[in-house]
């Protein structure tokens, strides 16, 4: 047993109610609703309530909830179960103007139906696009869902039928009938289960949502509306939109030889307003234009039916329900009997106006809902095993019809043959003969009546089978096409990737080529080195190295080379210094020369003076230079002659210094360098002595010129630096070479020198070599 679901929807206040300063009386949550504190106080003061009442339902939808949300959270499950043969009923209950029709049909759909505009697809599209889910009602959303599920179900075939009728003044009217038949009320009968059924109601086959809209549209036109003050378009009848869903399984149960099928119906019931007549005043216009008696009659019929509905529910929910429940008291209860007694999944949607002024009506709706939710029903699946039989019966009828047609064709053909035969007997026309033959052939190709009966059934089955196979193949084809396009896309992507890989592969090949060349070069180098190394293999101290040792050795050599390189750079800078210093070297030579000539002149003059002094025995003149004492003169003479001899000595030893002043500076520097490389210490000494000589001569000559002394100083410092650097350079070299020798135990300077020049790319390896030997 399953309890009836009861949900509540609270509509927002409309503009008129806002203008009238209507107060919202109710606070709702997910499943509960209660009077808010301010209104509760008021009502307690008015002695309408004693304390707060909390009403609880399956779901409470607030003012913001829309139709689609309501459908998806409550109605959808009823629809889904109907596809499996479980009946369903969705009942809208509430006072007039509380939003029952709004929920059932939707805001814009309602207008659309009244304006003969049936572009439902457009409306649905727009409502989804604009998030206006109140434009369409739960009925359309349900039917949409139904068709959606049917279309994706491959194992079953469905047949959907719709009927639309109303209970007006306790009479049932078929809303889908033509206008002239509308006034004829329908009557009740009972089916084999003793359930009430409406006789002769029209059922329309529907295959799309458009078909459904056509039905509703037709019904809405015929529906009885009347204007009340509470609601401009108040429904004055209970309307029922009934949907019959029959499902046939495609897979027959071999053993039992029947086709499994289910049947279910869903009733969408929009009840008329549940208000009391007293609280439902009729507008003046209506009073003027129509019969007030009619309106009262309508209202009393509505109220009566709703009263009996409430009563039935109350009886059913008693602790011990009475054996007899008076369903027959009203048309509505008769109709709802099956929905309330069992085998129906029933959902009651209560709608309320939240205004304080509508408190009594709302309270009555809430009470109805509270008792309704206690009603239990036994839900079972409606399985119809007879459906296969009726289905087969239908097929048989079709075959019989076909046979009849074929029989007629055969008899027609026979008649033609007979007439042709007669013609043939009358004359021997070949044309007639051929016609006859053709007719006979045609006739032979047609199955006989008896044959037809047997073969046609199997043919039909085969055709169906082939059709389904064809469908399957087509589906497969579509799938394959999809896969193909997908694969094609992937292939394109892969091609692009291959192209990029190809390009990078090309680049890498080029790089590999270059690396190979380098490798070859290095291999050659290492081969050369190995060859040279092999020369030493025979030597007694030769030791074979492990890879680590060789690597270590190589590292040391690299370090040594690095230092050599630095020394080289230093030497280059010395060269540059030499070039810069060249004019300084040439200058003192010239000065020395002039010194020598002036000194020899002085010497001669002193000798002359000496001889004159000797002969005349006179005191020397007072002009300084010539008035020196003899001792001084002698020592000066001695010093000068010493200096001169040193200079000439120096000139003999260093012919380069004798070179004229305009000699090419570069050449000079180079040769100085060469000389320095050969005998650095000797040259340095010479420079020193030269410098000293020059200094002392200048002193002796008493020609203290500042410039000259500065130049001399410069030369001296340069010479010193050159000397020390050259010494240092030699020392470094020797130390390194001896270190390497020590570490390798082999005396093989050639290897180092050659490797150095090869690795540094120095074309002057021979110079280094010779230099090295010189240094050694």
Ligand X SMILES: Nc1ncnc2c1ncn2[C@@H]1O[C@H](COP(=O)(O)OP(=O)(O)OP(=O)(O)O)[C@@H](O)[C@H]1O
- List binding-site positions for ATP: 94-101
> Does residue number 137 form part of the binding site for ligand X (CB under 6 A)?
no
Q: Which of 4, 8, 11, 348 binds ligand X (CB under 6 A)?
A: 11
CB-nearer residue toward ligand X: 295 or 676: 295
Piece of 69-77, 89-97, 607-615, 644-652 that binds ligand X (CB under 6 A):
89-97
Tell me the residue ranges of DSSP E strands in 71-130: 87-94
CA–chain centroid gap for 637, Å, is 107
CB-nearer residue toward ligand X: 97 or 588: 97
Q: Which residue's structure tokens are 């009938």? A: 177
| 80 phi and psi angles, rounded to 5 deg | -60, -40
Other beta carbons less than 10 A from residue 144's beta carbon: 19
Among residues 362, 306, 286, 377, which one has the least CA distance to residue 89? 377
In angstroms, give the least distance from the CB of 233 to ligand X: 6
> Does residue number 736 form part of the binding site for ligand X (CB under 6 A)?
no
In angstroms, give the least distance from the CB of 290 to ligand X: 16
In angstroms, give the least distance from the CB of 201 to ligand X: 23
Cα gap 70→78, rounded to integer Å:
12
Residue burial 197-223, b: 16+ Cβ < 10 Å; e: rest? ebeeebeeebeebeebbbbbbbbbebb
Q: Which of 85, 88, 99, 588 binds ligand X (CB under 6 A)?
A: 99
Residue ranges at the known binding site: 94-101
Q: Are 156 and 249 in contact (CB under 8 A)?
A: yes
Q: Which of 5, 34, 82, 98 binds ligand X (CB under 6 A)?
A: 98
Piece of 92-100, 493-501, 525-533, 657-665 that binds ligand X (CB under 6 A):
92-100
Q: Which residue's structure tokens are 């006034």? A: 183
Other beta carbons less than 10 A from residue 128's beta carbon: 13
Q: Which of 107, 373, 676, 772 binds ligand X (CB under 6 A)?
A: 107
In angstroms, give the least distance from the CB of 266 to ligand X: 20
Q: Are 136 and 127 in contact (CB under 8 A)?
A: yes
Q: Which residue's structure tokens are 């609280």? A: 279
CB-nearer residue toward ligand X: 12 or 326: 12
> Does residue number 248 form part of the binding site for ligand X (CB under 6 A)?
no
> Does residue number 142 form part of the binding site for ligand X (CB under 6 A)?
no
Piece of 191-199, 227-235, 292-300, 702-710 that binds ligand X (CB under 6 A):
227-235
Q: Helix, strand, or coil here: 60? A: strand
From residue 402 to residue 431, what is the string marking binding to ligand X with x (rule CB under 6 A)?
------------------------------
| 59 phi and psi angles, rounded to 5 deg | -155, 140
**How far, CA to CA in Å, does 612 sit from each of 395, 601, 637, 724?**
173, 16, 17, 52
> Does residue number 299 form part of the binding site for ligand X (CB under 6 A)?
no
In angstroms, give the least distance from the CB of 95 to ligand X: 7
Q: Which of 231, 310, 377, 589 binds ligand X (CB under 6 A)?
A: 231
In angstroms, give the least distance from the CB of 12 to ligand X: 5
> Does residue number 85 form part of the binding site for ligand X (CB under 6 A)?
no
> Does residue number 74 form part of the binding site for ligand X (CB under 6 A)?
no
Q: Are 47 and 405 in contact (CB under 8 A)?
A: no
Q: Are 272 and 290 in contact (CB under 8 A)?
A: no
Piece of 10-18, 282-290, 327-335, 524-532 that binds ligand X (CB under 6 A):
10-18
> Does residue number 235 form part of the binding site for ligand X (CB under 6 A)?
yes
From residue 307 to residue 346, what is the string marking binding to ligand X with x (rule CB under 6 A)?
----------------------------------------
In angstroms, give the least distance from the CB of 231 to ligand X: 4
CB-nearer residue toward ligand X: 139 or 722: 139
Piece of 91-99, 551-559, 597-605, 617-625 that binds ligand X (CB under 6 A):
91-99
Q: Are 80 and 88 in contact (CB under 8 A)?
A: no
Count the alpha carbons within 13 Å of 244 in the hemisphere toward its beta carbon.
12
Q: Helix, strand, or coil here: 277? A: coil
CA angle 138, 142, 148 (to 5 degrees): 145
Q: Which residue's structure tokens are 């009828």? A: 397
Among residues 680, 654, 666, which one has the least CA distance to residue 774? 680
**Between 749-760 and 765-775, two packed helices, what is the crossing angle to 10 degrees?**
150
CB-nearer residue toward ligand X: 234 or 388: 234
> Does residue number 362 form part of the binding site for ligand X (CB under 6 A)?
no
| Residue number with the smallest Cβ distance to ligand X | 99
> Does residue number 234 form part of the binding site for ligand X (CB under 6 A)?
yes
DSSP string, 585-630: HHHHHHHHHHHHHHHHHHHHHHHHHHHHHHHH-PPPPSSSGGG--H
Q: Which of 100, 643, 712, 736 binds ligand X (CB under 6 A)?
A: 100
> Does residue number 60 form part of the binding site for ligand X (CB under 6 A)?
no
Q: Which of 60, 272, 332, 366 binds ligand X (CB under 6 A)?
A: 272
Piece of 226-234, 663-671, 743-751, 753-761 that binds ligand X (CB under 6 A):
226-234
Piece of 9-17, 334-342, 446-454, 531-539 that binds ligand X (CB under 6 A):
9-17
CB-nearer residue toward ligand X: 87 or 134: 134
Q: Which of 88, 94, 106, 137 binds ligand X (CB under 6 A)?
A: 94
Among residues 95, 63, 354, which one has the least CA distance to residue 228? 95
Q: Assign 3-state DSSP to the chain and report helix, strand, coil percentages, each to 5.
A: 65, 15, 25
From residue 12 to residue 51, what is the string marking binding to ligand X with x (rule CB under 6 A)?
x-x-------------------------------------
In angstroms, give the least distance from the CB of 146 to ligand X: 23
β-pairing verdict for 171-174 and 87-94:
unpaired
**How far, CA to CA in Å, does 710 sit from each of 124, 704, 714?**
109, 11, 6
> Does residue number 295 form part of the binding site for ligand X (CB under 6 A)?
no
CB-nearer residue toward ligand X: 111 or 714: 111
In angstroms, give the least distance from the CB of 218 to ligand X: 19
> Does residue number 237 form part of the binding site for ligand X (CB under 6 A)?
no
> Does residue number 226 form part of the binding site for ligand X (CB under 6 A)?
no
Q: Helix, strand, or coil here: 115? A: coil
CB-nearer residue toward ligand X: 228 or 677: 228
In angstroms, give the least distance from the CB of 264 to ligand X: 26
CB-nearer residue toward ligand X: 74 or 231: 231
Piece of 90-98, 281-289, 529-537, 650-658 that binds ligand X (CB under 6 A):
90-98
Distance between start and end Cα atoms, the chain:
118
In angstroms, give the least distance from the CB of 111 to ligand X: 9
CB-nearer residue toward ligand X: 117 or 709: 117
Query: Which residues make Cβ contacts (< 8 Å) with residue 113, sequence separation at least 6?
Result: 105, 213, 216, 217, 220
Q: Are 97 and 105 in contact (CB under 8 A)?
A: no
In angstroms, give the least distance from the CB of 461 to ligand X: 52
Query: Which residues make Cβ contacts (< 8 Å) with residue 670, sequence separation at least 6?
Result: 575
β-pairing verdict for 54-56 and 188-190:
unpaired
In angstroms, give the least distance from the CB of 272 to ligand X: 6
CB-nearer residue toward ligand X: 11 or 772: 11
Among residues 28, 29, 34, 24, which one has the least CA distance to residue 54? 34
Judged by CB under 6 A, how many residues of this single chain contact ligand X?
19
Binding site for ligand X (CB under 6 A): 11-12, 14, 94, 96-102, 107, 231, 233-235, 272-273, 351
């Amino acid at each position: 047993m399953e309890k009836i679901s009861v949900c509540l929807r609270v509509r927002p206040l409309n503009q008129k109610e806002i203008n009238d300063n209507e107060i919202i009386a109710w606070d709702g949550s997910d499943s509960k609703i209660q009077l808010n504190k301010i209104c509760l106080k008021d009502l307690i003061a008015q002695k309408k309530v004693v304390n707060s009442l909390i009403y609880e339902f399956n779901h409470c939808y607030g003012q913001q909830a829309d139709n689609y949300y309501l459908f998806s959270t409550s109605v959808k499950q009823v629809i889904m179960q109907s596809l499996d043969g479980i009946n369903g009923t969705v009942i809208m209950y509430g006072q007039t103007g509380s939003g029952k029709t709004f929920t059932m049909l939707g805001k814009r759909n309602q207008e659309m139906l009244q304006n003969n505009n049936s572009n439902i697809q457009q409306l649905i599209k727009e409502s989804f696009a604009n998030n206006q889910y109140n434009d369409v009602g739960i009925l359309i959303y349900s039917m949409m869902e139904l068709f959606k599920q049917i279309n994706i179900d491959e194992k079953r075939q469905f047949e959907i039928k719709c009927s639309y009728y109303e209970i007006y003044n306790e009479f049932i009217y078929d809303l889908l009938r033509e206008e002239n038949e509308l006034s004829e009320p329908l009557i009740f009968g009972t089916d084999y289960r003793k359930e009430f059924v409406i006789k002769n109601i029209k059922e329309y086959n529907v295959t799309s949502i458009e078909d459904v809209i056509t039905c509703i549209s037709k019904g809405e036109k015929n529906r009885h509306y009347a204007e009340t003050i509470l609601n401009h378009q108040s429904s004055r009848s209970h309307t029922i939109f009934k949907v019959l869903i029959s499902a046939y399984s495609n897979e027959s149960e071999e053993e039992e030889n029947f086709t499994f099928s289910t049947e279910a119906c869903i009733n969408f019931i929009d009840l008329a307003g549940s208000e009391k007549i007293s609280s439902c005043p009729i507008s003046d216009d209506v009073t003027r234009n129509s019969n007030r008696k009619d309106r009262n009659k309508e209202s009393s019929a509505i109220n009566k039916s709703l009263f009996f509905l409430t009563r039935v529910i109350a009886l059913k929910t008693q602790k011990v329900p009475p054996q007899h429940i008076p369903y027959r008291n009203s048309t509505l209860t008769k109709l709802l009997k099956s929905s309330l007694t069992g085998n129906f999944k029933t959902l009651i949607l209560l709608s309320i106006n939240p205004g304080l002024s509508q408190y009594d009506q709302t309270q009555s709706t809430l009470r109805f809902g509270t008792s309704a939710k206690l009603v239990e029903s036994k839900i079972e699946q409606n399985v119809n095993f007879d459906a296969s039989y009726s289905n087969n019966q239908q097929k048989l009828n079709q075959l019989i019809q076909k046979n009849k047609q074929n029989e007629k064709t055969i008899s027609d053909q026979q008649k033609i043959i007979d007439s042709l035969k007669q013609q043939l007997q009358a004359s021997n026309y070949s044309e007639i003969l051929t016609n006859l033959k053709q007719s006979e052939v045609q006739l032979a190709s047609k199955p006989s009546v008896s044959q037809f009966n047997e073969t046609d059934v199997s043919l039909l089955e085969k055709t169906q089978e082939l059709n389904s196979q064809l469908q399957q193949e087509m589906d497969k084809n579509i799938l394959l096409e999809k896969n193909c396009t997908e694969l094609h896309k992937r292939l394109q992507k892969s091609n692009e990737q291959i192209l990029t890989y190809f390009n990078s592969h090309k680049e890498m090949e080029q790089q590999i080529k270059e690396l190979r060349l380098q490798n070859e070069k290095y291999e050659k180098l290492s081969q050369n080195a190995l060859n040279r190394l092999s020369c030493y293999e025979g030597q007694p101290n030769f030791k074979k190295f492990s890879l680590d040792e060789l690597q270590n050795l190589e590292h040391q050599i690299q370090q040594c080379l690095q230092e050599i390189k630095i020394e080289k750079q230093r030497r280059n800078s010395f060269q540059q210094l030499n070039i810069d210093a060249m004019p300084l070297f040439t200058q003192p030579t010239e000065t020395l020369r002039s010194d020598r000539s002036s000194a020899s002149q002085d010497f001669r003059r002193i000798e002359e003076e000496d001889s004159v002094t000797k002969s005349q025995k006179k005191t020397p003149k007072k002009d300084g230079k010539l008035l020196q004492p003899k001792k001084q003169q002698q020592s000066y003479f001695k010093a000068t002659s010493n200096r001169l001899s040193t200079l000439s000595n120096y000139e003999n030893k260093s012919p380069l210094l004798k070179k004229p002043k305009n000699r090419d500076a570069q050449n000079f520097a180079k040769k100085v360098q060469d000389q320095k490389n050969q005998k650095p210490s000797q040259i340095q000494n010479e420079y020193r002595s030269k410098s000293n000589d020059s200094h002392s001569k200048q002193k002796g000559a008493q020609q203290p010129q500042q410039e000259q002394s500065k130049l001399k100083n410069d030369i001296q410092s340069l010479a010193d630096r050159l000397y020390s650097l050259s010494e240092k350079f030699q020392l470094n070299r020797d130390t390194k070479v001896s270190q390497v020798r020590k570490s390798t135990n082999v005396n093989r300077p050639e290897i180092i020198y050659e490797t150095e020049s090869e690795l540094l790319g120095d074309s002057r390896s021979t110079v280094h070599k010779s230099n090295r030997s010189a240094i050694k």
